[in-house]
Chain A
Amino acid sequence: MTASENIRIFFRDSLGLLSLDVAFEAPMKGITALFGPSGSGKTTVLRCIAGLHRARWGRCEIGSDIWQAEGYFRPVYERRIGYVFQEASLFAHLSVKNNLLFGMQDKNEDRMQSFSEVVRLLGVEYLLNRMPIKLSGGERQRVAIGRALLSGPGLLLMDEPLSALDTASKEEIMPYLERLQASLDIPIFYVSHDMNEVDRLADHLVLIENGHVLASGSLAKLQSDPSLMLASRPHAAVSLNAEVVSYDSDFKIARFAINGGFLNAPSQKLEIGDRRRLKIYAGDVSLSRAAASSSTIDNHIPVRITDFRETEPAQIIVFMALGHEGSGERLLARITKKSWATLGLDVGQRLYAQIKAVELFRRSDQ
């Protein structure tokens, strides 16, 4: 991959209390999450990328396409984006169908084909003739996503599309987002302050705090970076991309290949070759010196300790790499300081990680 195939962002501006100074790169594929606390400036970054806000100093390159540079600013309506706002913001005077058609430049056969596809993908067929005011929050957001997609974007920008929704509506939309991620081949920027969404959806992560980029890199790398707070948060976890290698239909257990080992997890029927995202919480991982064979825990994987951090109260976050050579994916375990001392653990040691639970999600294509 050459540099010009990346998205390269630099914005500097001062807005009220926030002084914004961000610079990062992101790949031209998959979901890049902009994560940070409220008021950290992540929405502003997204608005700058869209051109809804013009940063006083900035440079915005989408591959070889330059949207902002010194003395140059491409207006919003000439940028090939799709933007999903926090509130659906449907046009109140237009039906769902006309909302969806709003951004479609020409309505030839090809485009109408993609219209039916998007409508099906987001499950909004039955809403087409309704007015926005008659829709539930989740339905509105789905229409808003469809509307953005149908404008034929080269980059999809989503500003906390789930945060205005209740838990039920969030769960209603999540599967659509995951399907979207799998079926779209354009890059997506996804602003969120909910790490659960990020763990589930993102491929790449940009951590933003106080108007600055704290770290930027692949999700897996940042999740297991000892210098970041992500690994010490209460529900710290790693997301692993996995492929099904076998399926035991008697016990409904799928066996997944990941970089550095195999994992078993209960699942509905999966085909060999199916891709899933696995999420493993640090709290669901325990460590042992031997590969225990008689245990209710299904997964014992050889690992090598790469680092550790103390955290409150009297706990240790252990950073590991899969495989005794330590060349595979990263894994986290949360154990007590007492276990750490009793077992005499230290960096470089080879152990077995016992993984009690694995969450399964759909996975984007790499």
Chain B
Amino acid sequence: MNQTIDTELWRPIELSIALAFITTALLLILGAPLAWWLARSKVWWKEAVATLVAMPLVLPPTVLGFYLLIALGPNGPGGYIASLWGGRTLAFSFPGLVIGSLLYSMPFVVQPIRNAFEAIGDRPLEVAATLRATPWQSFWRVAAPLARPGFMTGAILGFAHTLGEFGVVLMIGGNIPDQTRVLSIAIFDYVETSQWALAHMLAAGMVIFAFIVIFSMMIIEKNVSGSRE
């Protein structure tokens, strides 16, 4: 039984959390410069880029998953990348899931950070420049700290959406234990095969987990912004 619980319950949970953490971390690193550019650039085509970033909000996950499957497969760029270390495809693999999640969760991270950067306005950055801060220093010492609520929101939403995604993961990852069998897939699988007890445990665990994450973030945010006053 212990063996079963370990593989049946804990492995999907671990996999999901690992996926969500890696995706969120990468999105914060890649998304912050993108959000900064979207907030501050004056080029006319930046809204086209913003639209591309937002597409996953509207597209059915199956559509995204379908194109990703082609892109990651042996004949797509993903296959070429995989061949670099002797693999055949990025589809049905954990790195493939990370790439899919990055695209799928990007709007949830980029949008709040962009809004936060826009809300700062020009003034604090002008002040920083008159105080001899280089653009790089201005970003780290002024823009990033002032946009912190946006980063928080982006991180929470990105994490939660990655954890909860089902359609894209199913399309490009399948259901390979230890590789792509994440939590949402496992729950679906247990329901399909009438293993209600396991499905219940995972589902209830998700509900509690989601509540704790969002609740504690709210408390933290409230305390931090409270100390500013």
Contacts and interface: CB of A to CB of B under 8 A. Distances in A.
Interface of A: 50-52, 75-78, 81-83, 85, 87, 89, 91-93, 102-103, 105, 131, 133-134, 147-148, 151
Contact of B146 (A52, A93, A102): A93
B123 A89 contact: yes
Interface stretch (B11-19, B85-93, B130-138, B169-177): B130-138
Nearest to A83: B130
B123 A85 contact: yes
B228 interface: yes
A85 B132 contact: no
B205 interface: no
5 contacts: A77-B129, A91-B124, A91-B127, A93-B145, A133-B228
Contacts of A51: 129
Contacts of A81: 130
Contacts of A93: 142, 145-146, 148, 228
Contacts of A92: 146, 228
Contact of A103 (B132, B134, B135, B227): B132
A54 to B, nearest CB: 13
A52 B131 CA distance: 12
Contacts of B228: 92-93, 131, 133
B127 A83 contact: yes
A147 B128 CA distance: 11
Interface string B206-229: 000000000000000000000111
B130 A148 contact: yes
The 8 closest A-B pairs by CB, nearest first: A103-B131, A83-B130, A76-B129, A93-B145, A77-B129, A151-B131, A89-B127, A89-B123
Interface of B: 123-124, 126-135, 141-142, 145-146, 148, 227-229
A266 B121 CA distance: 50
Contacts of B130: 50, 52, 76-77, 81-83, 103, 148, 151
Given A93-B146, A131-B228, A131-B229, A77 B133 contact: yes
A77 B228 CA distance: 27
Contacts of A105: 132
A89 B122 CA distance: 11
Contact of B126 (A52, A82, A102): A52
Of B127, B135, B141, B227, chain A has the most CB atoms within 10 Å of the CB of B127
Nearest to B145: A93
Contact of B229 (A75, A83, A85, A134): A134
Most buried by B among A51, A76, A89: A76
A50 to B, nearest CB: 6
Contacts of A75: 129
B42 to A, nearest CB: 14
Contacts of B124: 89, 91
Contacts of A89: 123-124, 127
Contacts of A133: 228-229
Contacts of A131: 227-229
Contacts of B134: 77
B10 to A, nearest CB: 40
A136 to B, nearest CB: 15
Nearest to A78: B132
A103 B131 CA distance: 5
A87 B124 CA distance: 11
Contacts of B133: 77, 102-103
A142 B148 CA distance: 27
Contacts of A76: 126, 129-130
